[in-house]
Amino acid sequence: MEKVLLLFIAALGGFIGSLMSGGSMVTFFILTLFDLPAKTAVGTLKMVIAALTLVSSLTYLKAGILNLRVVLTMVLFSLIGSYIGSSFLLSMPEEAANVVVMLFLIMGVYFTLKEPQGEPILKGKLHQSIVGLAIGIYIGVLGIASTLVVISLLRMFFRLELLRANAMAKVIIFFNNLIAFINYAENGSVDYSIGMLLIFPVIAGSWLGATTALKMDPKYLKGVFVGISILTVINLLKDLIV
């Protein structure tokens, strides 16, 4: 019965993560119940989240809302940025990291409610590369609420609709998690048996989440983004206060 409940929670995590963000938090919670070593839990998480975001990305691609030329440029430079961030072990105190994330999320909520108007602030391959590099460094060094932060940046700088920003964020997160998973796997820090147990319900939930997002009225999708962002900010504030 406990295993059935865990699989249901895994599917729910896939649904939430594909719809907007939060799948990694739900999945990591499940992994902690298996008493895995920290590195193995993170490595297994990267495997599951790579599967989640791959299914989301393919669903959005099939729906025709992904601009592959733009997203692949950003993916390439995000991988370079992620490598730089992790290789030089750039870090900051956890409290400072939480403040940075909160600022990004507050900006994201503002631009989501305001609905960005007018021409994009940034244009062209050079700017796409710079933003992709910055996203990669953020993911490599901090990584907290990555999907929400990426969506916020894409909307702020490129004036993307929320659904398109979400789709593009999923592709970027997929490739970064895939590279991270390979690194963990090479070091033997992935539990494939637990990963495969969770990956199928996560994939099912991810597909359902992406198809729901495609059909959802934009104002409700905004509500999901704002709601998850606010909950994340509250959680980060709680960590700061405690």
H helix or E strand, kind and range, residue 196: helix 192-215
Spatial distance between the Cα atoms of 216 and 163, rounded to a whole number of angstroms: 10
Q: Which residues of 63-90 are buried (b: 16+ CB within 10 A; e: fewer)?
A: eebbeeebbbbbbbbbbbbbbebbeeee
Dump pLDDT digits (tens) for 42-51: 889 889 989 9
Match 């990426």 to its residue by tokens.
150
User: 75-84, 145-154, 214-223, 228-237: lowest mean pLDDT where?
Assistant: 228-237
Say if residue 163 is exposed, middle or buried (CB neighbours under 10 Å; 0-12, 13-18, 19+). Answer: middle
Length of the chain (residues): 242
- Range in 71-80, 115-124, 145-154 the model is least confident about: 115-124
Q: How far apart are CA 157 and CA 210, in angstroms?
A: 24
Give the pLDDT score at 162: 86
pLDDT tens-digit series, residues 137-166: 878 766 667 888 888 888 888 888 889 999
- Ranked by mean pLDDT, the top range of 51-60, 64-73, 93-102, 212-221 is 51-60
Residue 242: which residues within 8 A CB-CB, separation 6 or more? none
